[in-house]
Structure 1
Amino acid sequence: MKSRQLTDLGQQLRVDSVRAAAAAGSGHPTSSMSAADLMAVLLAHHLRYDFDRPAHPGNDRFVLSKGHASPLLYATYKAAGAINETELMTFRKLGSRLEGHPTPRRLPWVETATGSLGQGLPVGVGIALSGKRLDRVGYRVWVLCGDSEMAEGSVWEAAEHAGHEHLDNLTAIVDVNRLGQRGPTRHGHDLDAYARRFQAFGWHTIEVDGHDVDAVDRAYGEAVSTIGQPTAILARTLKGRGVESAQDREGLHGKPLPDADEAITELGGIRDIRVEVQPPPAARMLHAVRAGHLELPRFELGDQVATRDAFGKALAALGAARGDVVALDGEVSDSTRSEFFAKEHPDRFFECYIAEQQLVAAAVGLAARGWVPYASTFAAFFTRAHDFIRMASISGSGINFVGSHAGVAIGQDGPSQMGLEDLAMFRALHDSTVLYPCDANQTAHLVAAMAGCEGIRYLRTSRGASPVIYGPNEDFPIGGSKVLRVSAQDRLTLVAAGVTVNEALAAADMLDRDGIPVQVIDLYSVKPVDRGTLRDAAEHTGCLLTVEDHREEGGLGDAVLDAFLDGRPTPRLVRLAVRTMPGSASPEEQLHAAGIDRESIAASAKLLVEQAVVR
């Protein structure tokens, strides 16, 4: 297209953004209008994409990090012929694919859900890593960012990571329109302020007038030709561009224009320009064969093995059997044991350093390209990246998270290192799977089973060694449990998972010596929970005692309670959990202080069966 045609296309994108927001009665047209020329030039001259084949391996990848500017994205889809006029006018309406913020669950051309600002560039880094190191296909990753989100620390985690990895297939386009939601941004139109920051992380930067289509065209060409560095295009724009009553004015963020018809007239009226988007080059995905023979590690009964060790060995074995499995870690791979995978499959291991938001975002990007990521760090540190995990769930991403060093059982390190809220955090996610194995063989089988699940999967591992109680050929279906001890005379049921399973078994032995038989259940699948076994246990004993190395809220006890929320009679339920603020002590002392060790379990059980001994 010639300059005039590009300008007209930009005006069309503005008009359609205004129209869509007016029809919806809500939306962000002014944020869309500032970036319209940037999108027009990208669509017409630089994006290589087959909208009929969004999975084409040679397609460039576009991420709208400023997800609130979705009217612009949908207007772009209309210009490309991917959607029609009728669908554009369904923006933000019930049942429409055109949501207020775009998600890949609805639209095949969307790479990741955005709208929580500061996430598009980190996910773009993950996609670019896939293209550079795994796919080895020459697609480019274009990320359109807003200047407000440049205040997010996650953006600079991404910037540093991209610079470190020399991701010259990644271009960040920053729409510097000066205005945020409630007023001016921190740096306003100071493009150099942004340039200095990107340059410090090893980026090539280009400063440009974002409404000069020829200058934008040249900037994109320069980005494509830059070798060895990612590129940041810093574009000075005006929010509400083209409409005098809205241009560069405060107070209009997130609102339809007051007089949409007048604005459309001022912008030159409705147009129907169609763009023949450049097709991608021929390419084939170089993913390795998905399935081979899986030889999981085997552990002997009675051996003392930490579940984190079993995880690392199982992941390395899974990587040998499945070439689509990748691993990421946050500079603690010697502790999480993902180092076993790194040593055997270094080409599929990604070190994300102490940047948990980027760790999760990179996993989202890799999953978007068809890989099966296992992202690991200490369980406590996933809380820092919870918003990224939440957004990954909204995207429908298939990611395996593994949190080690969970609970007070880690001992002397103290509460800052103890994952005590992780089960609740992952259980709360839509369609998530939450697993908490107690021994090495169980861990190995669950690591392999996770790869075949949908959505967000979480495996909790432990630091200390525990006895192997299951044989290597035992089956552990997700959604199941194991009844480890049962008799016709049982007075109550102990329900445990992970480190508390062995404490529950030891407590059962103590109680048996006192003439109090109890049932013991290993509830390794915290979500989905084995409702059938729990209901049978409730009928069998009438009382359930749950014990968990986790906060009382949202963990194992609440998972058990969920089995009885269908209106049937609820059994007597007592929960032992970590209710105090731990300090530093040995693992055994920590469990006792929290009231979740074998002595505490036995004492609570005696009280429940009214056989407490007063001393």
Structure 2
Amino acid sequence: MQDLARQLRVDSVRAADAAGSGHPTSSMSAADLLAVLLASHFRYDFERPAHPGNDRFVLSKGHASPLLYAAYKAAGVIDDAELLTFRTLGSRLEGHPTPQRLPWVETATGSLGQGLPVAVGIALSGKRLDRVGYRVHVLCGDSELAEGSVWEAAEHAGFEHLDNLTLIVDVNRLGQRGPTRHGHDLDAYARRFRAFGWHTIEIDGHDIAEIDHAYTGAASTTGRPTAIIARTVKGKGVASVEDREGLHGKPLPDAAAAVEELGGDRGTRVHVQAPPAARALHSVRGAEPELPRYEIGDEVATRTAFGEALTALGSARGDVVVLDGEVGDSTRAEFFAKEHPDRYFECYIAEQQLVGASVGLAARGWVPFAATFGAFLTRAHDFVRMAAVSGAGINLVGSHAGVAIGQDGPSQMGLEDLAMFRAVHGSTVLCPCDANQTAQLVARMADLSGVRYLRTSRGAGPVIYGPDEEFPVGGSKVLRSGDHDRVTLVAAGVTVHEALAAADELATAGIPVRVIDAYSVKPVDREALREAARATGCLVTVEDHREEGGLGDAVAQVFSDGSPAPRLVRLGVRTMPGSASPEEQLREAGIDAGSLSAAVALLVEQHVAP
């Protein structure tokens, strides 16, 4: 194990030197910890990364990727030539590891404080869903323990008694710009973990026997997760860089001398133990869900339709799981909890953990739906961004969107959510306006890839579509049209109903308008919008969202390729709302039917030719 640790250090130095960048000193501090884990405690079949019995390893301190790649070389799954492609164009060995490139990586890391939250989701899967005896190991640095998300995860793991989870804290004392808050005070970290119900073990992170004993102790601990808190030295093994500031994120000044001091490149290899035979208990997908059906004219909130459709989806598909941010009674996710309690996870008011655990569950093959208020998902934006980097398939649902929620005021109003999710790579953004549309989209989004976001509303609205209507992702619905339309109103969610009312009012004034329900905000229906532009020459978007980044920008982007562009007017929430009734809120924001009618009438009078 000592030889293996030396080899991991040597290859970390060599990889960073070949790249001319990287974090070898952060890798060197944790080399003993990883060497002992690989050689004596980790069970993994590298030829079958999806083996249900495989232990799981998450490198939360993702900048220490040279150490991870050195371990892969020692295990024989990459060769030396590939190791030296570190950080180069086209290489699988990126500066921070991602599962998109390497099948043995559980989740993308690099944004510190995310490894443990995701690992909690993986451990929950093993404990409550897979019911397989694999262990989950997380290697994190001491600097990232300043992140609040770590403590959200720590409390969640302690509450759930995740004794299949081991956190290894590499306390090397030095962060990027200097010493960490607690330095080498191991007990400062141990006290915090014990407060959340963890078993803690404080060790010398360079003493092979102590490390080995700690892993054995973690495996034998029941009813509690374990934190192994290891005192280490940054740059361990090379005297000129050991415990020195100013070397973070830099190759060693003299790599050749460092390799020689470490004992040279011996090509040490490790035989990782095979996992035990295991069988995952994932349910086979059943028939198509029997979605709820609503009659045209009924008054139903889209959040209610979401909860009922999700419950039906869970009855048809055993791979669907739901996570709640302690607002399930409001989002209606509690409907699923009552029917499928074994696949429902309460994360409480910890939105970063909500999304992080979703990514972990998705990594184990589940289809997670995580629901909270749309406004509160903004708190977890970094986790959403990193989920896209991981290529994770997660469904996020934000209720209580827009000023239409009424009296609760601006702190509860999701007014930036569409912009946030549209900006995420490969995302899908859906904004239904009625119950049947919502139910259909819930079923569809479960089969999509990447990050999917569904926006729901608090108040009841009229059902305008029949239960057998189809709503393909990337589509739209033309609800009013004629040969003499002067303007096209493009709406989504609650503003669809305002647009329809405005269209009826304008028709009586002799101004025919087209109305498009753009329920798919990303991808948007380019063809329908281009046809509307050709037919009417003027598009007015109206949304219960900030003007920036939402539906209006999605529509404008359709015409950004140099093709003939219509006159485009965007209506959205421009002021800071207060408390008022939903009807008053829409009127004050200038997005209710009356405001829309007045705006269109003025536009036609001043700018639109007959």
TM-score norm. by structure 2 comes to 0.99
Q: Deviations over 1:137-187 (max 9, x none)?
A: 000000001000010010000100000000000000000000000000000
**C-alpha separation between the residues in 2 aligned to 1:46 and 1:565?**
56
**C-alpha separation between the residues in 1 aligned to 2:530 and 2:420?**
25
Query: Could you say which residue in structure 1 is the equivalent of 2:189?
Result: 194
Instruction: For residue 273 of structure 1, report the CA deviation from its aligned partner.
Output: 1.2
Query: Could you say which residue in structure 2 is the equivalent of 1:403?
Result: 398
Q: Residue 330 of structure 1 is aligned with which of 320, 325, 340?
A: 325
Give the aligned residue type for 2:407: Q
**C-alpha separation between the residues in 1 aligned to 2:301 and 2:363?**
32
Give the aligned residue type for 1:124: A
**C-alpha separation between the residues in 1 aligned to 2:349 and 2:314?**
24
Query: Could you say which residue in structure 1 is the equivalent of 2:459?
Result: 464
The yes-or-no answer on 1:209 pairing with 2:182 is no
Give the aligned residue type for 2:329: D
Query: Could you say which residue in structure 1 is the equivalent of 2:516?
Result: 521
Query: Could you say which residue in structure 2 is the equivalent of 1:61?
Result: 56
**C-alpha separation between the residues in 2 aligned to 1:565 and 1:322?**
41
Instruction: For residue 583 of structure 1, report the CA deviation from its aligned partner.
Output: 0.3
**C-alpha separation between the residues in 1 aligned to 2:597 and 2:447?**
38
Give the aligned residue type for 1:582: P
Query: Could you say which residue in structure 2 is the equivalent of 1:602?
Result: 597
Superposed counterparts of 1:9-408, under 5 Å:
9-408=4-403
Superposed counterparts of 1:523-602, under 5 Å:
523-602=518-597
Instruction: For residue 569 of structure 1, report the CA deviation from its aligned partner.
Output: 1.2
Instruction: For residue 567 of structure 1, report the CA deviation from its aligned partner.
Output: 1.3
**C-alpha separation between the residues in 1 aligned to 2:48 and 2:275?**
10
**C-alpha separation between the residues in 2 aligned to 1:293 and 1:358?**
31
Q: Deviations over 1:349-377 (max 9, x none)?
A: 00000000000000000000000000000
Give the aligned residue type for 1:398: G
3-state secondary structure, aligned to 1:377: strand
Q: Deviations over 1:490-524 (max 9, x none)?
A: 10100000000000000001100100000000000
Q: Deviations over 1:66-124 (max 9, x none)?
A: 00000000000000011000100000000000000000000000000000000000101
Instruction: For residue 488 of structure 1, report the CA deviation from its aligned partner.
Output: 0.5
Instruction: For residue 291 of structure 1, report the CA deviation from its aligned partner.
Output: 2.7
Give the aligned residue type for 2:221: T
Over the matched positions of the two proteins, sequence identity in percent amounts to 79
**C-alpha separation between the residues in 1 aligned to 2:54 and 2:267?**
25
**C-alpha separation between the residues in 1 aligned to 2:158 and 2:201?**
16
**C-alpha separation between the residues in 1 aligned to 2:606 and 2:286?**
55
**C-alpha separation between the residues in 1 aligned to 2:479 and 2:576?**
31
Superposed counterparts of 1:465-480, under 5 Å:
465-480=460-475
**C-alpha separation between the residues in 1 aligned to 2:237 and 2:268?**
18
The yes-or-no answer on 1:512 pairing with 2:511 is no
Q: Residue 415 of structure 1 is aligned with which of 399, 404, 410?
A: 410
Q: Residue 497 of structure 1 is aligned with which of 485, 492, 497?
A: 492
Q: Deviations over 1:471-501 (max 9, x none)?
A: 0000000000000000001101000000000
Instruction: For residue 609 of structure 1, report the CA deviation from its aligned partner.
Output: 0.6
Q: Deviations over 1:382-430 (max 9, x none)?
A: 0000000000000000000000000000000000000000000000000
**C-alpha separation between the residues in 2 aligned to 1:292 and 1:51?**
34
**C-alpha separation between the residues in 2 aligned to 1:555 and 1:567?**
21
Unaligned runs of 5+ in 2: none
Runs of 4+ off more than 3 Å: none
**C-alpha separation between the residues in 2 aligned to 1:317 and 1:148?**
44
3-state secondary structure, aligned to 2:34: helix
3-state secondary structure, aligned to 1:610: helix
Give the aligned residue type for 2:76: G
**C-alpha separation between the residues in 2 aligned to 1:188 and 1:281?**
39
Query: Could you say which residue in structure 2 is the equivalent of 1:3?
Result: none
Instruction: For residue 611 of structure 1, report the CA deviation from its aligned partner.
Output: 6.7
TM-score norm. by structure 1 comes to 0.98
